[in-house]
Homo-oligomer: A and B are copies of this chain.
Amino acid sequence: MFIIVVYDICDNRVVRILKICRKYLNWVQNSVFEGEITKANFVKLKAELEKNMKKEEDSVIIYGLRTTLYSFRETIGKEKGGEEIII
């Protein structure tokens, strides 16, 4: 599946969250990661995020696409991410 992760994390934890996301996904913009991920890695990613966040202060939203057939992606302005984008 393809997922998009957006996060709003307090400064003292944001680098840890960035490093976790980078293990599984592509950085595309500040606080935004995307990419294909297996179910097993998706479970691992969420567990690591939960372990390194303060739920009452931090926010992570995950959008998941079981197929990218019915979705599209458009960029206006600078394409910040580097890696090859799938949808």
Contact = CB atoms under 8 A, between A and B. Distances in A.
A78 B61 contact: no
Contacts of A74: 46, 61-62, 64
A70 B60 contact: no
A79 to B, nearest CB: 7
A50 to B, nearest CB: 6
A71 B71 contact: yes
A65 B76 contact: no
B72 A59 contact: no
A77 interface: yes
Interface string A1-44: 00010111000000000000000000011111000000000000
A73 B59 contact: no
